[in-house]
Chains A and B, each alone.
Chain A
Amino acid sequence: MKALRNYLDKIKPNFEEGGKLAMFRSVFDGFETFLFVPNETSKSGVHIHDSIDSKRTMTVVIIALLPALLFGMYNVGYQHNLAIGSDPGFLMTFIYGFLAVLPKIIVSYVVGLGIEFTVAQWRNEEIQEGFLVSGILIPMIVPVDTPLWMIAVATAFAVIFAKEVFGGTGYNIFNVALVTRAFLFFAYPAAMSGDQVWVRTADTFGLGAGQVVDGFSGATPLGQIATASLDSFQGVVNTIGQPISTCDYFLGLIPGSIGETSVLAILIGAVILLITGIASWKTMGSIFVGGAVMALIFNAIGSTVSMTVCPIDHWCLGGFAFGAVFMATDPVTSARTETGKYIYGFLVGAMAVIIRVLNPGYPEGMMLAILLMNVFAPLIDYYVVEANISRRLKRAIK
């Protein structure tokens, strides 16, 4: 650490005003504050002196995402091995998934950070760190077979049109990672939905080649539920036709987007986020409540297969848990008032289940639900504040 600090101090003069590399000052500054807490904190006044800044916040979120990411990598390999009917052992399974996911992470970071760095240089501003989390979220919410160039195009679109034009990190209305996914979903539906994209059947860098076994189907549980008819539905099956249940949904060895399948891994992340106080338990909790209430209402009607899915299954399937823990709690795009968080979360959960159940075209509704409620978050905040003002005004007038 000491050596790194010394090295940074040595090369720092190059980047200051008048130095040889002054034009890259924002890049240097970005790396320096990423590695070390900046010294410029306020020395007086009532501020709380704490070393947590937005870079530190982002780092904690990434740590919280790691269990889901690592599990997602293993699951990519696991699903692949199921599909080709081989069992090369835990390590090879993980390596297969790791090699399949790694290029996506690299593409997402290179494109997104490239744009961020360019914009910061162009405007002569500090580099904003918001993309650190978006960059790891993007590969986690796409199917494993999404082509890299699509991820690059969608990331560039989202960073420019959902973030930079609004003024950069902290000013965006929509969650950047979800805009990336929405762009992919509407622009390239064949690569983002259906039965073909969730399980990689081809080899990765020559690893794990093999023939697909008979009876293979790459449909996700939600996809199966959305297309099933009530009379003939036999229950959800995995990729080779064995029945699976809530316990499997919870552990997450099921087809789906890379990082979203395992509720267990997401729960570990949720605990990290809640203990460090970075995500709000109010938003998170009320999403699950909203989803459950809506699911129970549909259970009472029960006229299609998706209406009969019980609340626990709704929580465990698809991106519900992932969205609730990592997406909807994004402090920039969610509601900020304490009461607003309950309302926002409840509506996200309810809306996700409504889209899942009532729209056969979209087996998964979490992405659209969060994006929709992102739009309403400022409105919710406005009315919560207004209500508070009028309540206090009444008290004062009496």
Chain B
Amino acid sequence: MGLLSEKNKDVLFGPLSINNPVVVQMLGICSALAVTSKLEPAIVMGISVTAVVAFANVIISLIRNTIPNRIRIIVQLVVVAALVTIVSEVLKAYAYDVNKQLSVFVGLIITNCILMGRLEAFALGNGPWESFLDGIGNGLGYALILIIVGFFRELLGSGTLLGFQVIPQAFYELGYANNGLMILPPMALITIAVIIWVHRLKNKDLQEK
């Protein structure tokens, strides 16, 4: 089996669209609402979750045969907690401002449904390499949605992208105003709903009967 066989490609790229953790499996919605009012925290959050899912998947996959079945959740939590702490410390050291914007949500990666879902559903039954690809794929699928939502919320809500003014001053002088509702959580939910709408429109087999 090659490093990127057909099956592994599915594992890696499936979660980006057809099996997306946010818009198809409806996991990790709360953090998607909470951290996406600006693009920068959305990107950092996406990267953090990708790193944690990928490495947690690898570690659990390596020790999957030695974990007693009855205490596996605790073992998973310990591994995830350790990784989240590392990510949190790295962010504090190198990206303090973003870390402050993300506030508790870095720590709350531990409760992100995507993590436990992937560990339970995939890492416990597959080898380390596949599990790594699965973690990267799901993390990126999550990050993708966060970035799309963050892009629209920051653009329409603040007129900036990554902190830079994108909408020219001339627009404001003509009477344009930022949409304050985009900053509030309800519009994150509606933005995700629109993404789901477009996504289902393109993937007919995902539509509920």
Contact = CB atoms under 8 A, between A and B. Distances in A.
Interface of A: 147, 149-150, 153, 161, 183, 186-191
B190 interface: yes
B182 interface: yes
A144 to B, nearest CB: 15
B190 A187 contact: no
Contacts of A191: 177
The 5 residue pairs across chains A and B that have the minimum distance between CB atoms: A187-B181, A187-B179, A186-B181, A187-B180, A188-B177
Interface string B156-173: 000000000000000000
B180 A186 contact: yes
B108 to A, nearest CB: 26
The bracket for how many chain B residues form the interface is under 10
A188 B156 CA distance: 12
Given A147-B175, A149-B175, A189 B190 contact: no
B103 to A, nearest CB: 23
A113 B179 CA distance: 24
B184 interface: yes
Contacts of A190: 177
- Interface SS of B by simple majority: loop
Interface of B: 175-177, 179-182, 184, 190
Contacts of B177: 147, 150, 188, 190-191
Contacts of A187: 179-182
A153 B179 CA distance: 10
A264 B181 CA distance: 35
Contacts of A149: 175-176
Contact of A161 (B180, B184, B190): B190
Nearest to B182: A187
Contacts of B179: 153, 187-188
Nearest to B157: A187
B175 A183 contact: no
A210 B190 CA distance: 44
Contacts of B182: 187
Nearest to B181: A187
21 contacts: A147-B175, A147-B177, A149-B175, A149-B176, A150-B177, A153-B179, A161-B190, A183-B181, A186-B180, A186-B181, A186-B184, A187-B179, A187-B180, A187-B181, A187-B182, A188-B177, A188-B179, A188-B180, A189-B180, A190-B177, A191-B177
B171 to A, nearest CB: 11
Nearest to A191: B177
A183 B175 CA distance: 18
A121 B27 CA distance: 35
